[in-house]
Amino acid sequence: METVKEFVTKDSGKREQFESGMVRDTQDGKLRFDLAFDGPLFWSLFDGRPCGLLVRAAQKWYENGGTKEAAEVIWQMAEYEKVSVMVIVERYAALMMRGAIKYSEKNWMKAEGEAEYKRFRSSFCRHLKQYINGETDEDHGAAVFFNLNGAEYVFKNLSKKG
């Protein structure tokens, strides 16, 4: 049986509250990989690499959006790690437990606007880079899942309004 590593969720101690009421840790001092992802060059750096399929799935979601593309990122993460998708889901559940303690249950579901959508995408980009680099200071794989899910949630709500 596969075991899930114990992770922490980093906390700067500073909070950003959105008009919707959603609360996140600030992005102060965090690199903005979402800005580096624009254009074709960044993505082409990973062609032929072991993480290439994962990166292409992430690129497709980042450029086009869509739940199907987001789900493909999760499947490619599992392939990349050689674990079952359920291991990724268990890690995501652990992240959600820590987030409920830190921010309150379902805080992320308060997100409803363009600012929150952009924030989910920005955090997705940063955590994807950290995940591919094998950083283990946080569960970056679960954070990728979280930010994909959050962006999809907000996008669906924006589409209904719009």
- Residue by residue, DSSP assigns 60-77 as HHHHH--HHHHHHHHHHH
| 8 A C-beta contact, residue 73 and residue 82 | no
Dihedral angle sign, alpha carbons of residues 35, 39, 131, 75: positive
* Residue 17 bridge partners (DSSP): 23
| 122: DSSP letter | H
Q: What does each of the 162 residues of the chain score in pLDDT, given as a tens digit?
A: 566 788 999 999 999 999 999 999 999 988 788 877 777 787 888 888 889 999 999 999 999 889 999 999 999 999 999 999 999 999 999 999 999 999 999 999 999 999 999 999 999 999 999 999 999 999 999 999 999 999 999 999 888 886
Please count the CA atoms within 13 angstroms of the CA of 112 that sit on its side-chain side. 7
CA distance 7 to 15: 21
